[in-house]
Amino acid sequence: MSVMDNQSKNFVYKPRLMTLCFIKDGNRVLLGRKARKIGEGLWNGMGGNVEQSDETIEDAAKREVREEVGVELENIKYMGSIDFKFPDTGRINQVSMFVAEGYQGDLSPEPEEISELKWFDIENLPVNEMLEADKRFVPFVLHDEEVSGEVKFTSDFVLLDCQINHEPFTRELSRELHMR
C-alpha cells in the first residue's frame, strides 16, 4: 500500500510487516538455504510476510516456519525489530526477529522456499554465505541480545548502510506493544 505525498510528489510506502525466526538447539542454530527471493542461495532463518490483518507477528512467525520447514515452534521469544529500507524504491520491510528453543514435528523443507536445511554451531556461522547485513545482526540475536536498527539496500540488495543496536535480553517484552 502506498500513498502520494502531495508536497514532493513521491510515493511513501507503508512498512511491510515481516518475520525472521531462528530455531536453536543448545549451541546450534538451524538455517535454511533460500531457494528464491531476497538472499537466494544464501543461509538464513525462516520467515516471511504477516499476511492476515488479524494475525499477530508471533503467529506469523510460527506460520511461516510451519510452511517453510513443517514444524511447530516451542519457546518462542521476540528479539527485536529491524527496518530494511530500499531508498531507490521507497519500500520498507519491518522485520521482527524471533528465536525458538524447540519444535515439534519432523523437519521437512518446502523446496520452493528452502533448498537445504543445516544445523550450524552458533560460534561458526556460514557468514561468507549470508547477506552482508545478516552477518551484522544474526550473531547478536543468537546470543540472546535484543536488536533494533535500520539497514538500507539498493533494489538489487547491495548494502548501502547498516545501523544495528543491541543489548542483552534481560526483560520480558510487552506482547501488547510488540506482538501486533
Residues 60-105 pLDDT 10s: 999 999 999 999 999 999 999 999 999 988 889 999 999 999 999 9
Structural domains of the chain ordered from first start: 10-168 (3.90.79.10)
pTM over 0.75: yes
pLDDT bucket at 156, cuts 50 / 70 / 90: confident
pLDDT tens column, 122-140: 999 999 999 989 999 999 9
Backbone torsions φ then ψ of 176, nearest 5 degrees: -65, -35
pLDDT of residue 178 exceeding 60, the answer is no
Can you tell me which residue has the cell 542454530?
Answer: 29
In this structure, are residues 36 and 47 in contact, taking their beta carbons and an 8 Å threshold? Answer: no
